[in-house]
Every structure is written in structure tokens, then in C-alpha cells.
């Protein structure tokens, strides 16, 4: 619905590894609310969507980033990661001409590519996710 940007960076979390990948009730209308599970699922969905965009729109650099557990209002004062590193990777991916940043379809943490949950890179899961999102929003992305 808008002009495609040159780069997209999706903020994810390492907590996406704890999600089941079940797409039956992604809007939590049928299950009892569980904030931790909902957060983990949403980050799995964000990472998979980023990978799907990379697959479908090769001219757009699309990546997901785990900023780490940083001391913010959400992370709390005891979070062990460096606050400065919490935004560094997504800023770098957004504007850098460093060849290492000119890639697509990856999952990052502190400027290093990481291995995401298997669903993230699974085209079947990506397709089921984007179909489910289209069903919920009446907007087809691909």
C-alpha cells in the first residue's frame, strides 16, 4: 500500500526461540492470556515476516534484530546487556554501506548473524503466517 523502502529492520528478540509456532490463535482471542508466551510468539512472527519479505522482495534488504536484554523500562534496571548495543545493529543495518550490512533475510544480535528458530526460515511457515495475517487484516502482502 506504500512504496517499498530500500531497507526494513524488524525488532525481534531471542525469546522467539521459546515460541511453538502455532498459528491457530495468534491474536489471543481464544486462549487465556499469557504475556510471556504472547511476546515470544510475536517475535517469532516478526522474524518470520522479515524473512518472508526478504524472500518475496529481493530488492528490499529485510532483516530482523535481537537488540538484547537491555536496561530499559521494559528490560528493567538489572538487564545484563549494553544499552548502547541495544540500538546499534538496527541503526547499522538501516544506513551502513558496509558490505556486511547489505544483506537480507538474516537474524542479527550485536552485529552478528545468529541462527533463528527453524520456523523463521521455513517458507511454508512464512506462507501460513502471511496467509493468517491477510485473513485477520484483509490485506495481502504478497
3-state SS record for the chain: CCCCCCEEEEECCHHHHHCCCCCCCCCCCCCCCCHHHHHHHHHHHHHHHHHHHHHHCCCCEEEEEECCCCCCCCCCCCCCCCCCHHHHHHHHHHHCCCHHHCCCCCEEECCEEECCCHHHHCHHHHHHHHHHHHHHHCCCCC
pLDDT score recorded for residue 81: 81
This prediction's pTM: 0.93
Q: Are 58 and 104 in contact (CB under 8 A)?
A: yes
Q: What's the full length of the chain, in residues?
A: 142
Which pLDDT score, from 0 to 100, does residue 23 have?
Answer: 96
Q: Are 9 and 90 in contact (CB under 8 A)?
A: yes
**Predicted pLDDT of residue 77:** 78
Q: 87: how many CB neighbours lie within 10 A of its CB?
A: 13
User: Cα dist. 89→1, 109, 123, 142 in Å?
Assistant: 27, 7, 25, 27
pLDDT tens, per residue, the chain with 142 residues: 789 999 999 999 999 999 989 999 999 999 999 999 999 999 999 999 999 999 999 999 999 999 987 767 777 777 778 778 888 999 999 999 999 999 999 999 999 999 999 999 999 999 999 999 999 999 999 9
Amino acid at each position: 500500500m506504500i512504496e517499498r523502502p530500500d531497507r526494513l529492520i524488524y525488532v525481534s528478540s531471542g525469546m522467539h526461540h521459546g515460541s511453538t509456532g502455532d498459528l491457530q490463535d495468534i491474536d489471543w482471542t481464544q486462549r487465556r492470556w499469557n504475556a510471556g508466551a504472547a511476546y515470544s510468539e510475536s517475535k517469532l512472527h516478526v522474524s518470520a515476516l522479515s524473512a518472508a519479505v526478504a524472500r518475496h522482495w529481493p530488492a528490499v534488504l529485510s532483516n530482523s534484530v535481537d537488540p538484547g536484554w537491555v536496561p530499559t523500562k521494559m528490560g528493567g534496571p538489572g538487564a545484563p546487556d549494553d544499552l548502547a548495543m541495544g540500538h546499534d545493529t538496527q541503526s547499522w543495518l538501516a544506513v551502513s554501506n558496509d558490505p556486511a550490512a547489505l544483506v537480507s533475510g538474516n537474524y542479527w544480535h550485536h552485529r552478528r548473524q545468529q541462527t533463528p528458530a527453524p520456523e523463521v526460515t521455513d517458507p511454508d511457515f512464512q506462507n501460513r503466517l502471511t496467509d493468517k495475517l491477510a485473513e485477520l487484516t484483509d490485506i495481502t502482502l504478497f
